[in-house]
Amino acid sequence: MSQRQWIAVDEYFTGALIDIDDALHAALAASDAAGLPAIAVSPTQGKLLNLLATMTNARRILEVGTLAGYSTIWLARALPPDGRLITLESEPRHAEVARANIAKAGLADLVDVRVGAALDTLPLLARELDSGRAEPFDLVFIDADKEHNADYFAAAVRLTRPGGVIIVDNVVRGGAVLDARSDNSAIQGTRRCIEAISTEPSVTATAIQTVGAKGYDGFAIAIVAPAHSAGSAGLSTPG
């Protein structure tokens, strides 16, 4: 088993199951042309995000980490016409490329790209929610700097409706997540995030390892307790 084989299998599934249309191709081409890093979700992962948003009937989606808007497009395509996706990006240059890609995909009316460090922009969303100017999110995709993932997760819990879904990308990193003594801040941030998930009483979660075009990595997926079952046995955290 090798990276070459993982890529070949991903290409097989992508060719068979996934329609990568002009807007998605153009988004990656524009990302490359602008010199942005090639770290967007793969087509099979993007489609998974799209399916998860569809399965949960997501009307409001939050993304932390936009890059060129490739995952944004996959997610926003699951929204109904009156849906909304807010995506947070610290780099103005990335946001600019993303806005153009999102517009080319015909999704400009559904997507709001907000520029700023997520640690600064997430509290603004909480204020909008508290003041009744916004509704909670049905689905949150966390995929920015991994250092702050525990904070992003805590903010996501606060911003997500009961029964809503929180997905965290890149929680395996070739298995490096096992290294409790890692001097890599991304690994430490991921481990703090897993700890935060495990100790957050209002969520129940799992993590799934993946191989494919993006190497050996994985997602954590959590649901916020439905209003009627908070504190029930099914949602208790392991001791």
Catalog residues that contact Mg ion under the rule CB under 5 A.
143, 169-170
Buried b (16+ CB within 10 A) or exposed e, 31-70: beeeebeeebbbbbbbbbbbebbeebebbbbbbbbbbbbb
Q: Which does 70 bind (CB under 5 to 8 A by kind): ligand DHB, Mg ion, ligand SAH, none?
A: ligand SAH
Q: How far is CA 159 from CA 127, 133, 166, 194, 239, in A?
A: 10, 13, 10, 18, 26
Which listed residue (14, 44, 50, 90) binds ligand SAH by CB under 6 A? 90
Piece in contact with ligand SAH (CB under 6 A), picked from 39-47, 124-132, 175-183, 184-192: 39-47
3-state secondary structure of 164: strand
Which listed residue (44, 72, 160, 170) binds ligand DHB by CB under 6 A? 170
CB of 63 to ligand SAH, least distance (A): 6
CB of 59 to ligand DHB, least distance (A): 25
Secondary structure element (H or E) that encloses residue 15, with its range: helix 3-17
Which listed residue (52, 76, 79, 88) binds ligand SAH by CB under 6 A? 88
190/180 Cα distance (integer angstroms)? 10
> Which residue type sits at 82?
D
Contacting ligand DHB within 29-58 (CB under 6 A) = 39
Size of the site for ligand DHB (CB under 6 A): 4
179/115 Cα distance (integer angstroms)? 33
Which listed residue (23, 111, 113, 118) binds ligand SAH by CB under 6 A? 118
Residues 6+ apart with CB under 8 A from 236: 201
Question: By the criterion CB under 6 A, which residues form the site for ligand DHB?
Answer: 39, 143, 169-170
Question: By the criterion CB under 6 A, which residues form the site for ligand SAH?
Answer: 39-41, 65-67, 70-71, 88-91, 94, 117-118, 143-145
